[in-house]
Amino acid sequence: MEKETPVAEINMSRIPVSADIAGLLFTVGTVVTFYWGIPELKNVVPAAIVVGVAVAVLLHLIRHEDPKPSYIPH
């Protein structure tokens, strides 16, 4: 019986990304790569960007009025 060898794959959830310009560049680069590589995403990505910006603005306004600590675990 042969031993199973581990599968070589990239797990995106294990890549640490900080909240600075390098993290922004990584995120934008990942979105662009998937956008060009998967043609079906050409309809979804623009809508996702609009919704993401709207949620970010909303969260910024809510946190600005009531600066409590975040409930998102680190």
CA-CA distance, 51 to 4, in Å (whole number)?
A: 43
User: Quick check: 7 pLDDT over 80?
Assistant: no
Q: What is the DSSP letter of 74?
A: -
User: Quick check: 74 pLDDT over 60?
Assistant: no
**Residues 16-68: pLDDT tens digits?**
777 788 888 888 888 888 888 888 888 888 888 899 899 988 888 877 665 66
Model pLDDT, residue 61 = 82
Domain assignment present for 40? yes
**The two structure tokens encoding residue 9:** 């794959």
Number of domains within the chain: 1
Domain assignment present for 56? yes
Model pLDDT, residue 71 = 62
- Least Cα distance to 30 among 46, 18, 42, 12 occurs for 12
Domain assignment present for 48? yes
CA-CA distance, 15 to 18, in Å (whole number)?
A: 10
Domain assignment present for 73? no
Greater model confidence, 14 or 49: 49
CA-CA distance, 53 to 63, in Å (whole number)?
A: 15
Domain assignment present for 34? yes
